[in-house]
């Protein structure tokens, strides 16, 4: 009998070329075939006559091929197979693109069945790329509920179904990792039955029940993992950092504003975590502009007051630099030295005694590296009596960090490089953590445990921050191992951004409005669509063209910058800085535009073809404006007014927008399936609170008795497999 590990080439007649392609789909063994789930199902269960066909509705028809031709499109490269199919009631056309092999399959007078969505043009009804099957065979592929698999060139759904059928015919050994009691309790099918029903469902219900089982199992594993991580962290030690009441009071009093309630609440949670002897693992989730930085500064201040080091890591140099400015400015009276370590910048800020006497020559604020015109620097306390900023070499920087002369180290991931040694690093803050990307993130987490923090037997507390509002259901499922602090409230002085959906006939008015704003000294963004990886090249082209068009036809009197994904990061930062320093009036950008960068003077944003973006992403874009004292505006250009975009006119709260977005697009698109590596069916259930809760309860039951899963080896194995394949948090 087969088992899941049986290699496919041993079992089936699979040609080397096919094996190669299957490998691309991740299929090398019987089990991979079985777990290669359909991406969707087409319900083809009712056969109709050709005369009964309704435009734009799925139908299956059966008939005889009466005409058959191979054509070439005007693109030349694309081949088109066209047939005419006849039954007793009428004739329908069908075309397939780039499936030349069909020449050998079809012939005149052959009987076939076709399934697809019928379309109507001036010549009558036709199918485009329908599913087909020779009609006299047993109705395996059409005429019922047909699973459609993720395909690759040369591996069709049809072929996959046939292979999987063979596996079931041969029968195979499989052990169900879900304990029987759980199956019984929730009326879930066994693994083997669920596998069968997922591939060969007799009804919609049968695949839905099977999918539910797989989703439950995934969620159960996710909860197991989260609880495991939590328990393991409880076993680790971290530095206890007392709460410095007086210092914090003094700091808060020095701020030009008072904290919002949410900021207070978040910091209360964080400061408590920091006093514990086990590492904090907390996510600070607050909308763009909600004031996460202050909370981070407070945590860093608590750390350094206790005599320990803190590190803040940002995804880009510009963001790191901005933090350096903010920290330096706000901590100027606290006898703290701050280092900025990125590839291009090695700066240290601190009391003159720290900065002087080292290799660094103290440089005045106006010549501060390449950031001469930075307003912040000019207005900041960076030049007060006893403090200064100096440029130092990388070696000096590393030495200063190692001996503990630098209390707060700010940087890009340059700060977790191998040769960096801390004297006593007790807190790591990761800003805009979502921006580090999925792969890098798991890498980051691993790196952090390996970091040479100078505290043997202890690991640093970790605070991650993200400006992507995460709806509660999602964070319950996917972020179970983290404690989450939310900032949903904006500072009071903030003027909500006025958002409007703009139809083509009103675009000129918007351009005029921008002209006016720029004449009043403000700046504007124009954001471009095209978000898919595959569109990268097209994106660049479109952005360049649009930049040229705006410059020539719309805003010839202004200076326009251009930013896109094909630029080197150095180049991107320079363009951002030019904009920040008002050397350009309008920044035309693709979706690569920096998250978190503060350009208080930019007050208007246009998002072109806004309907191509998700609401959450649009909300992120809009957060680039409205960061200063001025009223800000976001104009969403669209072809026609959609209710979806109007949600942004209505809500300025990112959590509300995210929740709506989630409901409209579904969890898969909201999170991006490929991002997480979770199955579609799991994604569809990810907001199912009842299921999450049950999965959590069952997982807790097990972890309470058996953290390492020593008595649940099957589960342990499955968990390891999941850890390899998916990326959460």
- List residues near Mg ion by CB under 5 A: 596
Query: What's the CA gap between 175 and 191, in Å, rounded?
Result: 8
Least Cβ distance, residue 293 to Mg ion (angstroms): 5
The residue (of 127 and 436) whose beta carbon lies closer to ligand ADP is 436
Q: Applying CB under 6 A, does 38 fall inside the site for ligand ADP?
A: no
Report yes or no: 27 and 36 within 8 Å, Cβ to Cβ. Answer: yes
**Least distance to ligand ADP from the beta carbon of 706, Å?**
40
294 binding ligand ADP? (CB under 6 A): yes
State in angstroms the smallest separation of the CB of 160 from ligand ADP: 46
653 binds ligand ADP (CB under 6 A): no
> Shortest gap between Cβ of 467 and Mg ion (angstroms)?
6
Contact 167, 4 (CB under 8 A): no
Which two tokens mark 595?
A: 């998250």
- The answer for residues whose C-beta is within 8 angstroms of residue 65's C-beta and 6 or more apart is 83, 84, 85, 106, 107, 108, 109, 110, 111, 112
Task: Give residues with Cβ within 8 angstroms of 427, minimum separation 6.
Answer: 241, 274, 299, 300, 303, 308, 309, 310, 311, 460, 461, 462, 463
**Contacting range for ligand ADP; rule: CB under 6 A; set: 131-139, 257-265, 581-589, 704-712:** 257-265
88: which residues sit within 8 A by CB, 6+ positions away? 49
Closest CB to ligand ADP among 90 and 491? 491
Looking at the Cβ atoms of 376 and 459, the one nearer to ligand ADP is 376
Under the binding rule (CB under 6 A), the answer on residue 291 touching ligand ADP is yes
Among 147, 228, 98, residue whose Cα is nearest residue 706:
228
Q: How far apart are CA 616 and CA 301, in angstroms?
A: 33
Nearest to 603 by CA among 587, 591, 619: 587
User: Given CA atoms 324, 329, 331, 333 in this order, what sign does their dihedral have?
Assistant: positive
Q: Which does 580 bind (CB under 5 to 8 A by kind): Mg ion, ligand ADP, none?
A: none
The stretch near ligand ADP (CB under 6 A) out of 231-239, 254-262, 448-456, 718-726 is: 254-262
Determine which residue in the list 101, 159, 162, 257 makes contact with ligand ADP, applying CB under 6 A: 257
Which of 18, 263, 305, 687 is close enough to bind ligand ADP by CB under 6 A?
263
- Residues whose CB is less than 8 angstroms from the CB of residue 253 and which lie 6 or more positions away in sequence, other chains included: none
Cβ proximity of 728 and 676 under 8 Å: yes
Site for ligand ADP in 442-501 (CB under 6 A): 467, 491, 493
Indicate the residue among 188 and 294 with the shorter CB distance to ligand ADP: 294
Residues in the chain: 729
CA 60 to CA 48: how far, in whole Å?
6
The DSSP bridge partners found for residue 611 are none
Burial of 98 (0-12, 13-18, 19+ CB in 10 A): middle
Residue 460 vs 596, nearer CB to ligand ADP? 596
- CB of 221 or CB of 593, closer to ligand ADP: 593
Q: How far is the CB of 518 from Mg ion (least distance, A)?
A: 26
CB of 596 to ligand ADP, least distance (A): 6
From the list 292-300, 403-411, 515-523, 525-533, the region that binds ligand ADP by CB under 6 A is 292-300
| Residue 292 makes contact with ligand ADP by CB under 6 A | yes
Shortest Cβ distance from residue 617 to Mg ion (Å)? 17
The residue nearest Mg ion at its CB is: 596
Burial degree of 553 (CB within 10 A; 0-12, 13-18, 19+):
exposed
Residue 305 binds: one of Mg ion, ligand ADP, none (C-beta under 5 to 8 A by kind): none
Shortest Å, Cβ 441 to ligand ADP: 18
Please state the closest distance from residue 586 (CB atom) to ligand ADP, in A: 23
Stretch that binds ligand ADP, among 12-20, 68-76, 290-298, 451-459 (CB under 6 A): 290-298
Q: Map 447-469 to HEC letters.
A: HHHHCECCCCCCCCEEEEEECCC
- Find the binder of ligand ADP among 31, 147, 189, 289 (CB under 6 A): 289
Give which of 415, 395, 373, 405 is closest to 584, Cα–Cα. Answer: 373
CB proximity list for 383: less than 8 A, separation 6 or greater: 364, 365
Query: Whose CB is nearest to ligand ADP?
Result: 291
Tokens of residue 84, six digits: 């005419």
- If one asks whether residue 285 binds ligand ADP (CB under 6 A), the answer comes out as no
Of the two residues 529 and 596, which places its CB atom closer to Mg ion in the complex?
596
Can you give the binding site for ligand ADP, defined by CB under 6 A? 257, 259-260, 263, 286, 288-294, 467, 491, 493, 596, 598
């Amino acid at each position: 009998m087969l088992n899941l590990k049986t290699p496919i080439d041993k079992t089936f007649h699979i040609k080397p070329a096919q094996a190669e392609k299957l490998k691309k789909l991740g299929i090398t063994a019987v089990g991979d075939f079985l777990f290669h789930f359909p991406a969707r199902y087409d319900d083809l269960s009712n056969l109709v006559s050709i005369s009964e066909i309704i435009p734009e509705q799925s139908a299956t028809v059966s008939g005889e091929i009466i005409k058959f031709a191979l054509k070439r499109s005007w693109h030349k490269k694309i081949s088109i197979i066209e047939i005419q199919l006849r039954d007793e009631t009428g004739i329908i056309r069908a075309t397939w693109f780039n499936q030349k092999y069909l020449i050998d399959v079809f012939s005149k007078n052959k009987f076939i069945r076709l399934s697809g969505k019928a379309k109507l043009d001036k010549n009558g009804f036709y199918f485009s790329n329908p599913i087909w099957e020779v009609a006299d065979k047993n109705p395996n592929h059409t005429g019922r509920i047909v699973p459609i698999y993720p395909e690759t060139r040369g591996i069709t759904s049809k072929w996959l179904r046939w292979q999987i059928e063979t596996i079931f015919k041969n029968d195979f050994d499989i052990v169900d990792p879900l304990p029987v009691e759980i199956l019984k309790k929730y009326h879930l099918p066994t693994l083997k039955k669920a596998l069968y029903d997922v591939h060969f469902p007799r009804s919609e219900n049968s695949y839905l029940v099977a999918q539910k089982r797989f989703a439950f199992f995934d969620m159960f594993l996710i909860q197991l993992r989260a609880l495991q991580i939590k328990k393991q962290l409880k076993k680790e030690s971290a530095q206890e950092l007392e709460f410095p009441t007086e210092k914090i009071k003094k700091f808060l009093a020095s701020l030009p504003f008072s904290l919002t309630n949410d900021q207070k609440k978040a910091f209360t949670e964080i400061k408590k975590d920091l006093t514990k002897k086990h590492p904090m693992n907390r996510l600070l989730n607050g909308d763009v502009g909600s004031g996460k930085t202050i909370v981070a500064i407070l945590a860093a201040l608590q750390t350094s007051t206790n005599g320990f080091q803190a590190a803040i890591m940002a995804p880009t140099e510009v963001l790191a630099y901005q933090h350096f400015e903010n920290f330096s400015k706000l901590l100027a009276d606290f006898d703290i030295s701050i280092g900025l370590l990125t590839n291009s910048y090695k700066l240290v800020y601190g009391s003159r005694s720290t900065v002087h006497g080292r290799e660094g020559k103290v440089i005045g604020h106006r010549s501060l590296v390449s950031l001469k015109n930075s307003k912040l620097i000019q207005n900041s306390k960076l030049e007060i009596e006893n403090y200064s900023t100096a440029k130092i070499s990388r070696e000096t920087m590393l030495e200063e960090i190692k001996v503990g002369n630098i209390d707060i180290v700010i940087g890009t991931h340059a700060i977790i490089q191998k040769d960096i040694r801390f004297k006593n690093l007790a807190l790591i803050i990761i800003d805009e953590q979502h921006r580090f990307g999925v792969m890098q993130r798991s890498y980051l987490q691993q790196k952090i445990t390996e970091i040479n923090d100078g505290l043997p037997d202890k690991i640093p507390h970790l605070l991650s921050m993200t400006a992507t509002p995460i709806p509660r259901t999602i964070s319950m499922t996917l972020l179970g191992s983290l404690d989450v602090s939310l900032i949903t409230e904006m500072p009071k002085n903030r003027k909500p951004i006025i958002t409007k959906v703009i139809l083509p006939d009103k675009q000129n008015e918007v351009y005029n409005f921008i002209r006016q704003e720029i004449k009043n000294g403000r700046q504007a963004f124009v954001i471009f669509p095209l978000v898919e990886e595959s569109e990268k090249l097209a994106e660049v082209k479109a952005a360049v063209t649009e930049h040229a068009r705006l410059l020539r036809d719309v805003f010839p009197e202004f200076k326009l910058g251009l930013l896109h994904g094909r630029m080197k990061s150095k180049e991107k930062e320079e363009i951002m800085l030019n904009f920040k320093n008002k050397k350009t009036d309008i920044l035309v950008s693709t979706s690569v535009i920096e998250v978190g960068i503060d350009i208080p003077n930019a007050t208007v944003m246009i998002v072109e073809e806004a309907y191509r973006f998700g609401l959450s992403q649009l909300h992120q874009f809009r957060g680039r404006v409205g960061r200063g004292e001025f009223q800000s505006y976001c104009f969403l250009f669209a072809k026609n007014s959609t209710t979806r975009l109007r949600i942004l006119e209505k809500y300025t709260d990112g959590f509300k927008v995210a929740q709506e977005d989630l409901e409209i697009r579904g969890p898969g698109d909201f999170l991006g399936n490929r991002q997480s590596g979770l199955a579609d069916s799991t994604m569809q259930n990810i907001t199912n609170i009842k299921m999450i809760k049950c999965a959590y309860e069952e997982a807790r039951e097990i972890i309470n008795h058996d953290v390492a899963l020593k008595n649940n080896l099957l589960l342990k194995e499955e968990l390891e497999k999941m850890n390899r394949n998916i990326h959460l948090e």
